């Protein structure tokens, strides 16, 4: 049986109580970490060795909310200027997703997933939208995930904005993909039941989606109160705030993710905590769309599980962590506010969220018996590096370092900064440019 030894590195466990283990080896076998021991331990060996001397070994990073379909929009300057979040959606994203073909989605995903590997991101929770190419779109994304070799939880974004038939197709696509994942053909894949946002979902569609998800035992992945207009619409049209409306239809629960939650109030936070619904904070996207800053400390204080996502702004989770910390300081007008709370989103929150999707794998934490998902950073700390300083290094040092190796399930996807997969990055990039050019002409 093949095994892998990542030797003589500075091992950072992350998890709820991050530890720093200097000059340690990590042995991986059959997709799991079988031993973490001081360098030179006689039981630490492998059929392949990666030298991590002078480097830092982290568990593979997790992106708890993203959109792989959005890659081909980079540089597009054809969208009209937008003064509100609704206009951002109407002028850019909804125009884009209506033009996407399945091949566009495949190439877009491949590019983003390769970039994830280059940033040490090994697990992604994705939210797909392609209203003129709904059927089979999740299989296309899943094939890209399998080709690149990361882990991903996928769903399709059900919405009424393109009509009832498209909404029903989205429900069917979610149901079919949940069934595919239940077959267990690829343990790297998981499924949720996707919903866009309450303001684009009628009661009838919410009821149909809730029933389908409930019958399948699937959790829901939905955008919640990203802009104040979502709450305003819900109160005006339905006489209740967004979280309460979703709760009434049975959308909330420990298997569900509420992305953003920028404008939820205290009662809604309590409802999220009571139902054990996870929240994912996406600070760069929120800043870019000028929708506000989620009150993460308040949610954590009320017992809400909160993680960190990028909303497709990047695949670099340490970049997103820095943004989360800086915007927290700015929002609080306090340069000392929320450091531990913000760091915990990545080090503990994301691990807890994906534990619900891949129970028992211990993703997001390096431990014996856990998944052999690792990222080796080219970082030799210039200041003391231990359990008490590791989070500061994570934000202000490791976030600026390059990733030398990325490993998923004990399989080396990148080493010495070179992708080790049966794919041609240059060819994929060229295809992406061709697809983007044609997409922009249709835009």
Please report, for the domain that includes residue 379, its CATH number: 2.30.40.10
Q: Residues 117, 260: one domain?
A: yes
Q: Residues 47, 149: one domain?
A: no
Q: Residues 34, 47: one domain?
A: yes
- Pick from 231, 227, 214: which is nearest to 175 by CA? 214
Query: pLDDT by residue (tens digit) across 270-281?
Result: 999 999 999 999
Count of domains observed in the chain: 2
Q: Residues 109, 207: one domain?
A: yes
Q: Residues 206, 304: one domain?
A: yes
Residue 19 placed within a domain: yes
What's the longest Cα–Cα distance across the chain?
A: 68
Q: Residues 135, 275: one domain?
A: yes
How far is residue 441's CA from residue 443's CA, in Å, rounded to a whole number? 6
Rg (CA), the chain: 21
How far is residue 228's CA from residue 225's CA, in Å, rounded to a whole number? 6
Report whether 184 contacts 224 (CB < 8 A). no
pTM summary value: 0.97
Burial group, residue 219, by CB count within 10 angstroms (0-12, 13-18, 19+): buried
The residue to which tokens 């991101």 are assigned: 121
Please report, for the domain that includes residue 239, its CATH number: 3.20.20.140
- Pick from 329, 309, 328: which is nearest to 319 by CA? 309
Token digits of residue 228? 């104040």
Contacts for 281 with CB less than 8 Å, ≥ 6 apart: 260, 261, 294, 296, 306, 307, 308, 309, 324, 345
How far is residue 383's CA from residue 250's CA, in Å, rounded to a whole number? 50
Q: Residues 219, 105: one domain?
A: yes
CA distances from 433 to 35, 71, 130, 147, 438 (A): 44, 11, 19, 20, 9
Q: Residues 50, 77: one domain?
A: no
Residue 432 placed within a domain: no
DSSP 141-179: HHHHHHHHT-EEEE-B-B-STT-HHHHHHHHHHHHHHHH
Q: Residues 148, 218: one domain?
A: yes
Spell out the per-residue pLDDT of the chain, length 443, in tens: 579 999 999 999 998 889 999 999 999 999 999 999 999 887 777 789 999 999 999 999 999 999 999 999 999 987 889 999 999 999 999 999 999 999 999 999 999 999 999 999 999 999 999 999 999 999 999 999 999 999 999 999 999 999 999 999 999 999 999 999 988 778 999 999 999 999 999 999 999 999 999 999 999 999 999 999 999 999 999 999 999 999 999 999 999 999 999 999 999 999 999 999 999 999 999 999 999 999 999 999 999 999 999 999 999 999 999 999 999 999 999 999 999 999 999 999 999 999 999 999 999 999 999 999 999 999 999 999 999 999 999 999 999 999 999 999 999 999 999 999 988 999 999 999 999 999 999 98
Residue 417 placed within a domain: no
- What is the per-residue burial (b if ≥16 Cβ within 10 Å, else e) of 387-423? eeebbebbbebbbebebbbbbbbbbbbbbeeebebee
Q: Residues 145, 289: one domain?
A: yes
Token digits of residue 61? 């990073």
How far is residue 172's CA from residue 283's CA, in Å, rounded to a whole number? 32
How far is residue 132's CA from residue 135's CA, in Å, rounded to a whole number? 9
Q: Residues 161, 194: one domain?
A: yes
Q: Residues 131, 10: one domain?
A: no
Domain span holding position 306: 61-355
**Chosen domain end from 289, 320, 355:** 355
Contacts for 359 with CB less than 8 Å, ≥ 6 apart: none
Report whether 138 contacts 154 (CB < 8 A). yes
How far is residue 134's CA from residue 124's CA, in Å, rounded to a whole number? 20
């Amino acid at each position: 049986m093949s095994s892998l030894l990542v030797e003589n590195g500075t091992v950072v466990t992350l998890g709820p109580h991050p530890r720093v283990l200097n000059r340690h080896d990590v042995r991986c076998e059959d997709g799991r970490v079988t031993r973490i021991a001081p360098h030179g331990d006689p039981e630490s060996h492998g059929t392949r060795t990666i030298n991590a001397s002078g480097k830092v070994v982290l568990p593979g990073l997790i992106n708890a909310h993203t959109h792989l379909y959005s890659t081909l929009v980079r540089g597009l300057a054809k969208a009209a200027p937008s003064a509100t979040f609704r206009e951002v959606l109407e002028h850019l994203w909804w125009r884009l997703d209506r033009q996407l073909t399945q091949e566009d989605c495949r190439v877009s995903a491949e590019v983003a997933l390769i970039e994830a590997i280059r940033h040490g991101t090994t697990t992604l929770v994705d939210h797909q939208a392609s209203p003129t190419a709904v059927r089979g779109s999740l299989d296309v994304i899943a094939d890209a995930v399998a080709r690149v070799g990361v882990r991903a939880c996928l769903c399709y974004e059900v919405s009424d904005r393109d009509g009832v038939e498209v909404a029903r197709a989205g429900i069917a696509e979610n149901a079919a993909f949940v069934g595919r994942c239940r077959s267990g053909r690829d343990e790297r894949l998981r499924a949720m039941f996707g919903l866009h946002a309450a303001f684009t979902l009628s009661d009838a569609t919410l009821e149909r989606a809730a029933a389908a998800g409930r019958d399948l035992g699937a959790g829901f992945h939905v955008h919640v109160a990203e802009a104040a207009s979502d709450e305003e619409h819900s109160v005006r049209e339905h006489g209740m705030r967004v979280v309460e409306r979703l709760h009434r239809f049975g959308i909330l629960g420990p298997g569900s993710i509420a992305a953003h939650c920028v404008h939820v109030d205290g009662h809604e936070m309590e409802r999220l905590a009571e139902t054990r619904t996870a929240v994912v904070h996406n600070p760069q996207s929120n800043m870019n769309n000028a929708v506000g800053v989620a009150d993460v400390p308040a949610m954590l204080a009320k017992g809400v599980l909160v993680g960190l996502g990028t909303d497709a702004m990047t695949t670099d989770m340490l970049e997103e962590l820095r943004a989360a910390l800086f915007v927290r300081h700015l929002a609080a007008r306090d340069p000392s506010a929320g450091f531990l709370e913000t760091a915990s989103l990545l080090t503990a929150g994301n691990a807890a969220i994906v534990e619900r999707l891949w129970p028992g794998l211990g993703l997001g934490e390096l431990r014996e018996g856990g998944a052999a998902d690792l990222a080796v950073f080219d970082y030799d700390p210039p200041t003391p590096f231990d359990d008490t300083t590791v989070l500061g290094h994570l934000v202000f040092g490791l976030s600026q370092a390059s990733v030398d190796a990325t490993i998923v399930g004990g399989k080396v996807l990148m080493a010495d900064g070179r992708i080790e997969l049966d794919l041609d990055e240059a060819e994929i990039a060229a295809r992406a440019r061709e697809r983007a050019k044609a997409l922009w002409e249709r835009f």
